[in-house]
Amino acid sequence: DGIVPEPAGGAHRDPAQAAKALKKTLVSALKSLQGIEVETLVEERLTKWRQFGRFAIEESPTPTNPEKVS
């Protein structure tokens, strides 16, 4: 995962430079994945996607010296 940098003014202003940046980013990402078993990559990706949207609700702590509220 990452962000591909765009040329000044956006990719539509300089498509050739945008293509170079995309190629550089993709080649770097693919190199970092070389040597990792396909099953491992798939499991890591599934684990990541399963975590989206999860959150935890923590209960408010109970005061140690609660005061009477009238």
Structural domain count of the chain: 1
**Is 33 part of any domain?**
yes
Contact present, 42 and 36 (Cβ < 8 Å): no
**What is the chain's pLDDT, residue by residue, as a tens digit (70 residues)?**
789 999 999 999 999 999 999 999 999 999 999 999 999 999 999 999 998 887 777 787 776 776 666 5
DSSP 11-24: GGG-HHHHHHHHHH
Shortest CA distance to 11 belongs to which of 26, 22, 25, 23? 22
Identify the domain containing residue 38 by its residue range. Answer: 14-48
- Sign of the Cα pseudo-torsion (39, 43, 44, 46, in order): positive
Residue 18, pLDDT score: 97
How far does the chain reach from its first CA to its final CA, in angstroms? Answer: 55
Overall pTM > 0.75: no
**Is 58 part of any domain?**
no
**Is 24 part of any domain?**
yes
**Is 1 part of any domain?**
no
If you search the block for the tokens 């170079």, which residue do you land on? 20
**Is 68 part of any domain?**
no
